[in-house]
Amino acid sequence: MVETRFRSPRLFLNTLKRNGPKIPLLPSDPYERAMARFWIKFADDKGPIIWKIYQKSGEERKKVIEESLEMLKTLEEYGIGDKKFFGGDNIGMVDIAFGGLAYWEELYEKVLDRNLLEADKFPRLYAWIKNFKEVPEIKENLPDLTRLSKLKS
């Protein structure tokens, strides 16, 4: 198997769409498909801010945390809604685009001594993370958290 590294969720998702599973990862309805593409672009544009938490300290880290919380608030209020996944009852491309949030949130707590994705502040995202991690294909392929935390230390 050839390992490929992708620099952006959009590139990964476009490759997955061409070569991936036979289940629909984008909605068939044109409006819903456009909204999914919007959120994928949002993940591509705004998502990287949260990773900067690991690279910054002091006042710079506080600013990055504020920007990250704004991004999460936008997802909570406008992205996930009351659905199990971003697109409804089944996992789709938007979920994959934001999948890193579901995994790395455990490391945020270790780095920051606080949890960015608190259940009372982000109940929809918190529920989405639980649902996302329970998808068999996701659960079976999550990298080892201990090894990842050593990479970010």
116-132 pLDDT, tens digit each? 888 899 999 999 999 99
Taking residues 85-109, report their average pLDDT.
85
Report which of 3, 38, 25 is spatially closest to residue 137, judged by C-alpha positions.
25
CA dihedral 119, 121, 108, 26 (to 10 degrees): 80
Q: In this structure, which amino acid lies at residue 129?
A: I
Q: Among the residues of the chain, which ranges form H helices?
A: 9-19, 30-46, 48-51, 58-74, 93-97, 99-112, 123-134, 136-139, 145-152
**Residue appearing with tokens 């993940």:** 43
> How many other CB atoms are found less than 10 A from the CB of residue 50?
21
Give the per-residue pLDDT at 148.
58
Yes or no: say if 125 and 75 are a contact pair by the CB < 8 Å rule: yes
Name the token pair of 122: 């982000």
137 confidence band (pLDDT: 50, 70, 90) = confident
Q: In this structure, which amino acid lies at residue 3?
A: E
At residue 81, does pLDDT exceed 90? no
More confident call, 44 vs 147: 44
Summarised one tens digit per residue, pLDDT across range 20-71 is: 656 678 888 999 999 999 999 999 999 888 888 878 889 998 999 999 999 9
Distance CA 105, CA 109 (A): 7
At residue 153, does pLDDT exceed 60? no
Give the per-residue pLDDT at 94.
94
In the CATH scheme, what architecture does the domain 29-152 have? Up-down Bundle (1.20)
| Burial of 149 (C-beta count, 10 Å sphere; 0-12/13-18/19+) | middle
Give the per-residue pLDDT at 60.
94
Report which of 29, 12, 31, 28 is spatially closest to residue 20, judged by C-alpha positions.
12
